[in-house]
Structure 1
Amino acid sequence: MLSRRGLLAGSTLALLAGCSSAEPAPGPPPVPAPTRPSAPSAPVTVQRMPSAARGTDVDLVLITPEGVPSSGLPVCLALHGRGARARTFLDLGVPAALTRAVREGVPPFAVAAVDGDHYWVGVGEDDDPQRMLTDEVPAWLTARDLRPASAVFGISMGGFGALRFARAHPDLKAVATASAALFVSWPDARSRKVFSDEANWRAEEPLLHTGELRPDAVGVWCGESDPFLSADRKLVKAVSPAVSRFSPGGHQDEYWRGILPDVLKFVGQRLN
């Protein structure tokens, strides 16, 4: 007869045997599948982004119409003028103007602004804003569940950059400029102390490459008191853009705020 001690020992051995034949303990949980890109959670977001093309961090300002889901919206790049920055488009009232335009019937789209310099082109330094627009911004937009940029709007120096971007991206649906800072001669361009030499300016100057622009996608705005008026008139004469508007105003915020509704309508009607 088994003693009580023997019975307990046998029970323990049986329990250990049962444990040894059980399924092995589960390993670490599987890595979750990548989540869906995160769309902007507010009509205006500002984030610092590292740009290898520019060799510095830049602001990425995203503006979407209030009350409209931002996921999957088409995008218009916004290029600021010399001495300004991406946040300038907030100061100009783009968020309210974009929301108003959409409520008045313009198909919704997003505006994406980034910090630039050097007339938005490479000038021989380790800083190439145009490469940032082409090589880095698309991924930034995709990560926020926005479509690739299919339009560009530039003010002053940004107008130069917008036309340069359009030369490299002929499939753009809209290219809008306001008071585009263009140069009719090398002495004029040299006075800005931006371009490394005449060859650099000639390779980038929009007025010397108007044949590479699609007239039906281009809109030109300029004030009649703007110092770049004659250069912008030359652009219009060479390109015959879909829209060209010369009206009272100078090279200043007041003029740019006044034309914003027309520019946003021009862009929105071509993006959708």
Structure 2
Amino acid sequence: MTGTPAHGEQMLDINGVELCVETFGDRADPAILLVAGSSASMLWWDAVLCGRIAAADRYVVRYDHRDTGRSTSYPPGEPGYSFADLTLDILGIQDALGIERAHVVCQSMFGGSGLILGVDHPGRIASLTFVSTSTGADDLPPPSGDLAMPPEPDTGDVAAVVEYVVAGARAYSGGSPYFDEAAVRALVERDVARARNYASTLVNHYSIASAGPVGGGFGDIAAPTLVVHGDHDPLLPLAHGEALRDAIPGAELLVLKGAGHDLPEPVWDDFVSALVRHTRGARP
């Protein structure tokens, strides 16, 4: 490891790569590890949101996936890792920070990591929260017909890249009244400027094959589970969240009214309250 686990942002050697990790709160409190969605660095878990969770006596960890932010990057279209490697990075971060069991919160594509951890590594998971994700069942509704994505940008044109990502975030909001374009643009500008190679950020997570657990499926998850889903989600309509809730024994569903495929600030009160309650009773 390149640094001693401490508060703030740090570069850690995890599974042979560098991952940028940031912590909030008291490390003696129950740990909540936030796993962002595809192509999303830690910045998409807003620092103010992380601070609000930490203020509820939680030790919050966010990090840059490989090919996002300051973490190790690979050439565009040539990710030198598998979906399983990205999932094992979560356990590597727990090891580096001395966290035996974490409350893991997985968003969108990386709900697949939550599934793998819950089934194949249950001893490392105190609870699971799935945000804007799905079982992937064939009978679930497809993305909304209104989900129009912009054409891919020239990655050498920073302004075009920013416009492309902002337009994608707007589309993924599903017409949410909470979409704040100015705030999203500021976030994207920071994200693009901070990344080692944003061209790789845009494509590499989509270049790896998804993978499932060895030991079973959603019905084999024993960890307490919370499913969080926006009722405006155009990529994975609400039926996906309902199906996920039904597939996991004892799972609860929090529907975020007015939210799309994201966590806009006006729903933070509901999200934080539910997450704190969910992680209060689960064994650390």
Q: How does 1:232-271 map to 2 (within 5 A)?
A: 232-248=241-257, 249-254=259-264, 257-258=268-269, 259-271=271-283
TM-score of the two chains, using structure 1 as the length reference = 0.61
In 1, the alpha carbon distance for the partners of 2:101 and 2:268 equals: 23
Change (3 A) 1:211 1:92: same
Is 1:111 paired with 2:67? no
Q: How does 1:220-239 map to 2 (within 5 A)?
A: 220-226=227-233, 227-228=235-236, 229-239=238-248
Q: How does 1:157-172 map to 2 (within 5 A)?
A: 157-171=109-123, 172=125
Change (3 A) 1:117 1:233: farther
Quote the offset at 1:38 in angstroms: 6.4
Change (3 A) 1:268 1:157: farther
CA contact (8 A) 2:130 2:226 kept: yes
The match for 1:179 is 132
RMSD, matched Cα: 3.5
Higher relative contact order, chain-length normalized (CA < 8 Å, sep 6+)? 2
Is 1:137 paired with 2:93? yes
CA contact (8 A) 1:211 1:239 kept: yes
CA contact (8 A) 2:20 2:63 kept: yes
Identity of aligned residues (%): 14
Greater Rg over alpha carbons, structure: 1
The match for 1:126 is 81
SS in structure 1 of the partner of residue 128 of structure 2:
strand
Q: Deviations over 1:154-208 (max 9, x none)?
A: 122233322222122223221111112542249x8xxx94443xxx54x3599x8
The match for 2:20 is 59
Quote the offset at 1:153 in angstroms: 0.9
CA contact (8 A) 2:31 2:59 kept: yes
Q: Deviations over 1:77-126 (max 9, x none)?
A: 21011221123323462112330xx2xxxxx33122222269xxxx9943
In 2, the alpha carbon distance for the partners of 1:71 and 1:63 equals: 8
SS in structure 1 of the partner of residue 282 of structure 2:
helix
Change (3 A) 1:180 1:58: same
In 1, the alpha carbon distance for the partners of 2:95 and 2:5 equals: 13
TM-score of the two chains, using structure 2 as the length reference = 0.59
Structure 2 residue ranges without an equivalent (≥5): 68-77, 143-204
Structure 1 residue ranges without an equivalent (≥5): 1-36, 65-69, 103-107
CA contact (8 A) 1:182 1:231 kept: yes
Quote the offset at 1:60 in angstroms: 0.8
CA contact (8 A) 1:81 1:156 kept: yes
SS in structure 2 of the partner of residue 95 of structure 1:
helix
In 2, the alpha carbon distance for the partners of 1:92 and 1:225 equals: 23
Q: Write out the 4+ residue segments of structure 1 that deviate beyond 6 Å after TM superposition.
A: none
